[in-house]
């Protein structure tokens, strides 16, 4: 639209939220480590067939229940004689997918719901009352009920998780959209007779999305745990597929003679969830006006 | 008086939510894939049995009529018949609710005590070593999957070091009253409480940090109060409403954990019953368990709202 070179050169750059996210997260060493851990796990999952020493379901019954350090099997073998390290690497795939995909789909549904709800008060009232009802169920319980009734399986588990996540994310978007609704730029757009939907999804969306993204990042850890928990209950991923929740569940029967079978996938879940929680905290801080300046300043001091 | 009015108002607003809960639980049966009667009775059922069940469940009626019938029965305490045990769901669930509430109460106690202690320990020493340790501890606690923590503590504390019994609520051979119950309760309650302790500690801590930066704290310091007096009199007092509301919110999350701890420690509560019902695909039982938990959750939140209201110094 305008010639960029004509803009005054000395004008302070307009700091978008993205800038603060970038500087804040990269400037925070803890967040960098967390992002690194997640990146390693994602890469391991993506290249599993090349990294894993054995196929995930290749069993060697003679070595079953052998502890970590068995030659050729770094992390030992499980009750069927399958290599735990290989199953861990392959299992990262479903563990990550089941943690992240429902959050993405949930956000994709919640953002329009929250925006429309904030714009049309009547619709908003209906939507938020519906959400109140869903809030009456503890998160894990709602997911367990839905998954149990729809029948076991990865797809059904993800649907259950999405439904469980929608009320939380919608409330976040709704609150953010209600604040944006009263801003001058929205009024200006209205004065220019911009169609409602255009105001909502072109003008307001970018300002509302940040809140939803941050919320989504802080919730991924909890979703990973819930998804693994559903698989642990036998409602999600089905054996013999490798996934960390179901690996913990399979190891439960052998804790007294081979505790490593349940311990190793559990530790992996904890590390992954911790990394997501740290990254989410850092993201939230870098978007919070009260803390973000401090983060950016310390980042500058260091460089 | 003011408080009574507030409590009544909250109770009134909880009723539509509870009715909504029954609608969701009722409609959730529609999620069962295929013919409900067939999935309840199994493939071996004859055509006559299927017809009889459809009629007794009112499956040939419109949904609204079905719901009203179901809701009417519910108000009389009839949640339906357990398919696996051929007994009324309410009759099976009633004793289990008590057992689950004991476990919940034990965990809630731990959550409130340790969540509060960690916050009071860390907030006045913002950014000190103690504070950082507490923050790190809460991070680890919040990231532990409850089912895994249960297995680990079971292995070390109950199996290896034999400090606690491995499973159940009472000693089967020689059941011994309250002390025996507490002995059995400690492990499952700790496991259930772990992640909620972290949440309560973090929220309470950050609220207390804000409180301690208020001008009236500065004024108190100027009047010569010691740090201990400031923290205990002003800091704690003004943090209490936040503490009570986040503590109350944990009731629901605790239940999410209770399902897993009851399975791992074989605690005869609603969670274990729910698990058995899932394995047996006992649909009325699943509905009953969810209904009970959601009701406890809504009522628990109601109580915590009233407590928060009572604790807020501005409402004195």
User: How far apart are alpha carbons A254 and A76 in whole angstroms?
Assistant: 14
Nearest to A101 by CA among A195, A5, A267, A216: A216
Measured between CA atoms, how close is A287 to chain B, in angstroms? 17
User: How far apart are alpha carbons A81 and A84 in whole angstroms?
Assistant: 9
User: pLDDT value at position B253?
Assistant: 82
B231 Cβ neighbours under 8 A, 6+ residues apart: B120, B123, B124, B212
C-alpha B130: how far from chain center = 30
Q: Which of A132, A136, A252 sits opposite B294 (nearest CB)?
A: A136
Backbone phi and psi for residue B88, each to the nearest 5 degrees, phi listed first = -60, 135
Query: What residues of B are in contact with residue A144 (Cβ under 8 Å)?
Result: 259, 274, 278
Measured between CA atoms, how close is B225 to chain A, in angstroms? 29
Residue keyed to tokens 């960690």: B118
User: How far apart are alpha carbons B104 and B14 in whole angstroms?
Assistant: 21
Query: What residues of A are in contact with residue B151 (Cβ under 8 Å)?
Result: 248, 251-252, 255, 262-263, 266
User: pLDDT value at position A13?
Assistant: 55
Residue keyed to tokens 């609520």: B169
User: pLDDT value at position A12?
Assistant: 53
Query: What residues of A are in contact with residue B20 (Cβ under 8 Å)?
Result: 129-130, 132-133, 136
Tokens of B110: 């731990």
Low-confidence ranges of chain B (pLDDT < 50): none
Nearest to B122 by CA among B137, B109, B107: B137
Nearest to B195 by CA among B129, B149, B127: B149
Nearest to B301 by CA among B3, B10, B21, B100: B10
Tokens of B276: 């058995």
Q: Do A233 and B278 touch (CB under 8 A)?
A: yes
3-state secondary structure of A73: strand
C-alpha dihedral (B52, B55, B59, B60), degrees to nearest 10: 120
- pTM: predicted TM-score of the whole model, two decimal places: 0.87
User: pLDDT value at position A265?
Assistant: 93
Residue keyed to tokens 């509870």: B18
Measured between CA atoms, how close is A117 to chain B, in angstroms? 19
The answer to whether the CB of A284 falls within 8 A of the CB of A276 is: no
Nearest to B36 by CA among B78, B83, B76, B92: B83
Q: Residue A6 has what DSSP assignment? A: G
Q: What is the pLDDT of residues B266-284, one digit of tens each?
A: 999 999 999 999 888 888 8
Q: Which of B143, B155, B257 sits opposite A273 (nearest CB)?
A: B143
Query: What residues of A are in contact with residue B135 (Cβ under 8 Å)?
Result: none
Q: Do A266 and B260 touch (CB under 8 A)?
A: no
Alpha helical stretches, state H, chain B = 2-28, 36-41, 47-57, 63-75, 89-122, 129-143, 146-153, 177-212, 215-222, 227-229, 236-265, 270-280, 283-311
Tokens of A259: 């505790």
Query: What residues of B are in contact with residue A251 (Cβ under 8 Å)?
Result: 151
Q: Do B293 and A138 touch (CB under 8 A)?
A: yes
3-state secondary structure of A255: coil
Helix (H) or strand (E) holding B78: none
pLDDT (tens place) for every residue of chain A, 303 residues total: 444 444 444 555 556 666 766 776 777 788 889 999 999 999 999 999 998 888 888 888 888 888 888 787 888 888 888 999 999 999 999 999 999 999 999 999 999 999 999 999 999 999 998 888 888 888 888 899 899 888 888 999 999 999 999 999 999 999 989 988 888 888 899 899 989 888 888 888 888 887 888 888 889 999 999 999 999 988 888 888 899 999 999 888 888 888 899 999 999 999 999 999 988 888 877 776 665 555 555 545 444
Measured between CA atoms, how close is A112 to chain B, in angstroms? 23
Residue keyed to tokens 């993205």: A18
Name the region of B120 (left: φ>0; alpha: ψ -120 to 50; beta: rest). alpha
Tokens of B181: 């119950």
Q: Which of A133, A140, A146 sits opposite B17 (nearest CB)?
A: A133
C-alpha B177: how far from chain center = 25
Q: Do A234 and B143 touch (CB under 8 A)?
A: no
Q: Which of B33, B145, B293 sits opposite A269 (nearest CB)?
A: B145
Q: Do B151 and A252 touch (CB under 8 A)?
A: yes
The answer to whether the CB of B80 falls within 8 A of the CB of B69 is: no
3-state secondary structure of A77: strand
The residue of chain A nearest to residue B271, with distances taken between CA atoms, is: A141
Q: What is the pLDDT of residues B162-200, one digit of tens each?
A: 888 888 877 767 777 788 888 889 999 999 999 999 999
What Rg, from alpha-carbon coordinates, does chain A have?
Answer: 23
Q: Do A221 and B264 touch (CB under 8 A)?
A: no
Measured between CA atoms, how close is A55 to chain B, in angstroms? 25
User: pLDDT value at position A61?
Assistant: 83
Tokens of A14: 């307009």
- Furthest-apart CA atoms within chain B: distance in Å: 85
The answer to whether the CB of B152 falls within 8 A of the CB of A277 is: no
Tokens of A229: 């928990």
Tokens of A238: 């089905």
Query: What residues of B are in contact with residue A266 (Cβ under 8 Å)?
Result: 145, 147-148, 151-152
Q: Which of B17, B146, B264 sits opposite A136 (nearest CB)?
A: B17
Q: Do B152 and A266 touch (CB under 8 A)?
A: yes
Alpha helical stretches, state H, A182-259 = 184-191, 196-198, 205-232, 244-252
User: pLDDT value at position A4?
Assistant: 47
Interface test with A, best of B10, B26, B31 (most A CBs within 10 A): B31
Backbone phi and psi for residue A259, each to the nearest 5 degrees, phi listed first = -60, -20
């Amino acid at each position: 639209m305008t010639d960029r070179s004509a803009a005054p050169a000395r004008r302070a750059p307009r700091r978008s939220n993205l800038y603060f996210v970038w500087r804040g997260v990269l400037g925070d060493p803890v967040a960098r480590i967390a992002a690194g851990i997640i990146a390693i796990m994602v890469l391991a999952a993506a290249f599993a067939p090349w990294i894993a020493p054995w196929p995930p379901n290749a069993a060697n019954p003679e070595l079953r229940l052998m502890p970590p350090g068995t030659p050729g099997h770094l992390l030992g073998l499980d009750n069927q004689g399958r290599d735990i390290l290989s199953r861990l690497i392959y299992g990262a795939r479903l563990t990550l997918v089941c943690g992240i995909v429902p959050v993405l789909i949930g956000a994709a549904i919640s953002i329009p719901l929250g925006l429309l709800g904030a714009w049309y008060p009547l619709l908003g009232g209906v939507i938020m009352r519906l959400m109140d009802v869903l809030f009456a169920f503890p998160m894990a319980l709602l997911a367990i009920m839905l998954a149990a009734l729809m029948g076991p399986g990865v797809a059904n588990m993800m649907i259950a998780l999405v439904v469980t996540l929608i009320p939380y994310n919608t409330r976040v978007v709704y609150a953010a959209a209600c604040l944006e609704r009263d801003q001058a730029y929205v009024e200006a757009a209205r004065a220019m007779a911009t169609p409602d939907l255009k105001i909502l999804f072109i003008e307001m969306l970018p300002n509302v999305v940040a809140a939803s993204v941050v919320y989504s990042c802080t919730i991924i850890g909890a979703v990973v745990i819930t998804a693994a928990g559903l698989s642990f209950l036998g409602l999600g991923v089905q054996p013999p597929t490798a996934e960390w929740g179901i690996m913990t569940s399979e190891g439960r029967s052998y804790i007294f003679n081979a505790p490593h079978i349940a311990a190793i996938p559990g530790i992996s879940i904890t590390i992954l969830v911790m990394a997501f929680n740290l990254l989410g905290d850092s993201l939230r801080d870098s978007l919070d006006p009260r803390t973000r300046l401090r983060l950016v300043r310390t980042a500058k001091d260091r460089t | 008086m003011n408080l009574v009015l507030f409590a009544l108002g909250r109770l009134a607003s909880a009723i539509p939510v509870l009715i909504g809960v029954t609608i969701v639980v009722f409609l959730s049966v529609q999620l069962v894939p295929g013919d409900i009667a067939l999935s309840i009775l199994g493939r071996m059922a004859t055509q006559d049995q299927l017809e009889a069940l459809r009629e007794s469940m009112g499956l040939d009626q419109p949904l609204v009529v079905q719901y009203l019938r179901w809701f009417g029965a519910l108000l009389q305490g009839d949640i339906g018949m357990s398919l696996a045990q051929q007994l009324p769901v309410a009759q099976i669930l009633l004793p289990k609710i008590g057992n689950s509430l004991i476990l919940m109460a034990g965990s809630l106690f731990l959550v409130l005590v340790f969540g509060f202690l960690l916050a009071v320990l860390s907030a006045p020493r913002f950014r000190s070593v103690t504070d950082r340790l507490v923050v790190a501890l809460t991070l680890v606690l919040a990231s532990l999957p409850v089912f895994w923590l249960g297995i680990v503590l079971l292995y070390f504390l109950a199996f290896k070091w034999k400090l606690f019994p491995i499973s159940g609520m009472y000693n089967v051979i020689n059941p011994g009253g309250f002390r025996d119950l507490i002995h059995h309760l400690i492990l499952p309650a700790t496991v259930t409480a772990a992640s909620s302790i972290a949440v309560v500690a973090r929220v309470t801590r950050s609220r207390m940090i804000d409180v301690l930066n208020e001008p009236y704290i500065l004024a108190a310091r100027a009047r010569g109060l010691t740090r201990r007096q400031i923290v205990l009199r002003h800091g704690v007092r003004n943090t209490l409403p936040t503490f009570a509301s986040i503590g109350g919110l944990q009731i629901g999350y605790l239940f999410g954990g209770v399902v897993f701890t009851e399975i791992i420690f074989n605690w005869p509560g609603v969670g274990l019953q729910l698990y058995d019902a899932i394995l047996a695909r006992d649909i009325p039982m699943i509905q009953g368990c969810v209904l009970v938990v959601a009701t406890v959750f809504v009522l628990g939140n109601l109580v915590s709202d009233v407590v928060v209201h009572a604790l807020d110094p501005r409402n004195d």
